[in-house]
Structure 1
Amino acid sequence: MQIGIDSFAAAENSDSFNGKKNAQSIEKLINRIVKADQVGLDVFGVGEHHRREFLDSAPHLILSAASAKTKNIILTSAVTVLSAADPVRVFQNYATLDLISNGRAEIIAGRGSFTEAFELFGYDLNDYDQLFEEKLELLIKIQNNDTVNWMGKYRPDINNQTIFPRPVQNPLPIWIGVGGTPQSFIRAGKLGLPLMIAVIGGETHRFKPLVDMYRESGRRAGHSSKKLKVGLHSLGYVAENSKKAVEDYFPGYAKTFTRIGKERGWPPVTLERFKAQNGPLGALMIGSTEEIAEKILRHSEALGGISRFTFQMDNAELSHKQLLKSIELIGEKIRPIIN
């Protein structure tokens, strides 16, 4: 099983227009990617948002900077908001990253958990599903063909055009990032694409029926079980012991998700609810190395086996030092237990 880290490149200060402080935040993030590579983690993903609290509106650039300082770690989007992007440019950006990194780039294509990209880039949110389906179709066509002919509704036609550059990897790996809609799981299965499930709350085992649908859909479409990989992305943080992990993580987590909850109609975060979601079956992965390793294995068994697990930990106002230490523990303690 691959073990990795995902980041949304959180800004460390409330003044999102302070360029010098944001430059420091990006530098620290790149240092964390380097640390993940040094301790043997398999993958590092950077998300895509267009909000003041995140600095990841151009994740391929962050990953490209990190590629020059790393040797082995896979560098992926987490996720590319494909619905609001041009698939040609997405492919070109990550094919270039693949060249820079000598074959370590991946794309996780999704629709994102926020919607501001639609208005920003001139798309109608009512076309949410149709945009993703059409653009994913084009991205896959570019992935598998040097020269492309294509017609669609939301982008000008492509007439016998060759898309450059071509990546080191053939094909350039594309995963599908999903939340909880059955249609998304079935689509990924039909296409034979690996699946990355974002689990940010509740109990992870509730995704088992959806994972079964994905695998059955892929089987019926004629895809081998080796192609139908499943990954999990969860909020997580590891410390020397459980008490310290919760004490470090909860205050910032409560602040962040209470703020987001106001936008989405969620109730304020409470410690009681946090502890319930951080229990043996809960989606949160906050604790000691032994606890979290056991929990990853438990989740994998509940879902019929997973190929990748990634921790999303920079959403709780943790310090750079705390994040580096957690990455070290995940690489040196958790990964050997899992594998």
Structure 2
Amino acid sequence: MEIGIDSFAAARQTNGTALNGADAIGQLLARIEHADQVGLDVFGIGEHHRVEYLDSATAVILAAAAARTKQIRLTSAVTVLSAADPVRVFQEFATLDLVSQGRAEMVVGRGSSIEAFPLFGFDLDDYDALFAEKLELLLAIRDKERVHWSGKFRPALTGQGIYPRPLQPQLPVWLGVGGTPQSFVRAGMLGLPLMVAIIGGDTHRFRPLIDLYRNAGKQAGYSPEQLPVGLHSLGYVAETTEQALEEFYPGYAQTFSSRARERGGAPVTQGQFMAQTGPLGALLVGNPEEVAAKIMRHSEALGGISRVTFQMDVATLPHQKLMEAIELLGTRVAPLIR
């Protein structure tokens, strides 16, 4: 099982202070470099177009990280493909693959944050149709240097060459999903690796959806080895569970209460948070031994997972705390799981 981290390049700290953008990016690159040094397998950068995050140009951050790392794989988490041009997305990540000497990946999705749609002039009524068409084109470009293709939302391609080509024979493309059954089935039918974002609820309840994915893949002729499942979870590791809970909760509550207000919901309570950190809850917060054990329980409950990535940005923790958590993930959690 691969262990990694996903980041949204947060530009605020728990006390609400906004970081200087250059300082925040510099700290993020230091964290990616540290993750590489302690032996973590993958680092992902999300895509948002909001004031609190600096990740709107994902491939640029990953390319800067590629120049400072040696082994760790570098991926998006996720690329909002519905609001992007698949040609440019492929070119950016193929270039990243060259810069990183074959360590680039991407996770593509429809986007749970919808600010990219009005920003780039797309209609939310076309939410799924946009993604289906653009995914088809992206995979066609990945498979062939010259593509003949036509669709509804983009001008046709009539055999133009798409360059550069990546170093890897086939650039890895994962499909990022939330809780929509059709998305799980689509990933299986296409034989794409699945990255499931589980940010709340009981993790084991996603098993029927993952079974949909595996069954769809099997019916499409793919082997189990061609259908890996990854888990994107909110989490944080400290020396003791008490410390981890105390440090993670304030920023977590602040972030999700703010999102709830945007959508007309209620603020987060500490009781809800504690329930999510329990044996069945989605949050991976605790000491290294407890977190490793919980990951293994999640893997068993979901029929086996191949990758787990920790999302710590939602707690807006200080840089030093994140560096310490990365150290624990690499030197204690990952070895226990392996």
The one-letter amino acid paired with 1:120 is L
Q: What's the CA shift for 1:15? A: 7.7
| Separation (CA, whole Å) in 1 of partners of 2:111 and 2:324 | 29
> Residue 167 of structure 1 corresponds to which residue in structure 2?
166
| Separation (CA, whole Å) in 2 of partners of 1:76 and 1:133 | 21
1:190-247 CA distances to partner (integer Å, 9 max, x unpaired)?
0000000000000100100000010000000001111100000000000000000011
Q: What's the CA shift for 1:112? A: 1.6
> Residue 323 of structure 2 corresponds to which residue in structure 1?
324
In structure 2, the residue corresponding to 1:237 is in which secondary structure?
strand
The answer as to whether partners of 1:88 and 1:163 remain within 8 angstroms in 2 is yes
In structure 1, the residue corresponding to 2:55 is in which secondary structure?
coil
1:135-175 CA distances to partner (integer Å, 9 max, x unpaired)?
00000000111110000000000001110000001100000
Q: What's the CA shift for 1:30? A: 0.3
Structure 1 stretches of 5 or more lacking a match?
Answer: none
Q: What's the CA shift for 1:111? A: 1.3
In structure 1, the residue corresponding to 2:187 is in which secondary structure?
helix
| Separation (CA, whole Å) in 2 of partners of 1:314 and 1:181 | 24
> Residue 140 of structure 2 corresponds to which residue in structure 1?
141
The reply on whether 1:72 has 2:86 as its aligned counterpart is no
> Residue 222 of structure 2 corresponds to which residue in structure 1?
223
> Residue 97 of structure 2 corresponds to which residue in structure 1?
98
In structure 2, the residue corresponding to 1:226 is in which secondary structure?
helix
The one-letter amino acid paired with 1:337 is L
1:249-286 CA distances to partner (integer Å, 9 max, x unpaired)?
10111011100111223321111110001100000111
| Separation (CA, whole Å) in 1 of partners of 2:193 and 2:280 | 24
User: What are the equivalent positions in structure 2 for 1:232-311 lying under 5 Å apart?
Assistant: 232-311=231-310
> Residue 21 of structure 2 corresponds to which residue in structure 1?
22
| Separation (CA, whole Å) in 2 of partners of 1:15 and 1:159 | 50
User: What are the equivalent positions in structure 2 for 1:178-197 lying under 5 Å apart?
Assistant: 178-197=177-196
Q: What's the CA shift for 1:53? A: 0.4
| Separation (CA, whole Å) in 2 of partners of 1:128 and 1:263 | 20
The answer as to whether partners of 1:141 and 1:148 remain within 8 angstroms in 2 is yes
> Residue 208 of structure 1 corresponds to which residue in structure 2?
207
> Residue 46 of structure 1 corresponds to which residue in structure 2?
45
**Fraction of identical pairs, as percent:** 63
In structure 1, the residue corresponding to 2:111 is in which secondary structure?
coil
Structure 2 stretches of 5 or more lacking a match?
Answer: none
The one-letter amino acid paired with 2:262 is E
> Residue 130 of structure 1 corresponds to which residue in structure 2?
129
> Residue 82 of structure 2 corresponds to which residue in structure 1?
83
> Residue 155 of structure 2 corresponds to which residue in structure 1?
156
| Separation (CA, whole Å) in 2 of partners of 1:222 and 1:282 | 34
> Residue 9 of structure 2 corresponds to which residue in structure 1?
9
1:288-311 CA distances to partner (integer Å, 9 max, x unpaired)?
000000000000000000000000
In structure 2, the residue corresponding to 1:310 is in which secondary structure?
strand
| Separation (CA, whole Å) in 2 of partners of 1:264 and 1:189 | 32
| Separation (CA, whole Å) in 2 of partners of 1:88 and 1:61 | 16
The one-letter amino acid paired with 1:7 is S
Q: What's the CA shift for 1:12? A: 2.6
Structure 1 segments, 4+ long, off by >4 Å, are 13-16
In structure 2, the residue corresponding to 1:202 is in which secondary structure?
coil
The answer as to whether partners of 1:198 and 1:233 remain within 8 angstroms in 2 is yes
Q: Paired residues, what number?
A: 336
| Separation (CA, whole Å) in 2 of partners of 1:15 and 1:156 | 44
Report the TM-score, using the length of structure 1 for normalisation: 0.98
Q: What's the CA shift for 1:314? A: 1.4
The reply on whether 1:112 has 2:111 as its aligned counterpart is yes
The one-letter amino acid paired with 1:68 is A
| Separation (CA, whole Å) in 1 of partners of 2:6 and 2:25 | 14
In structure 1, the residue corresponding to 2:313 is in which secondary structure?
coil
| Separation (CA, whole Å) in 2 of partners of 1:266 and 1:173 | 37
CA separation of 1:215 and 1:163: change in aligned 2, threshold 3 A: same
Q: Which stretch shows the higher mean deviation, 295-304 or 255-264?
A: 255-264
Report the TM-score, using the length of structure 2 for normalisation: 0.98
In structure 2, the residue corresponding to 1:156 is in which secondary structure?
coil
| Separation (CA, whole Å) in 1 of partners of 2:17 and 2:128 | 34
| Separation (CA, whole Å) in 1 of partners of 2:223 and 2:169 | 18
The answer as to whether partners of 1:12 and 1:22 remain within 8 angstroms in 2 is no
| Separation (CA, whole Å) in 2 of partners of 1:251 and 1:116 | 26
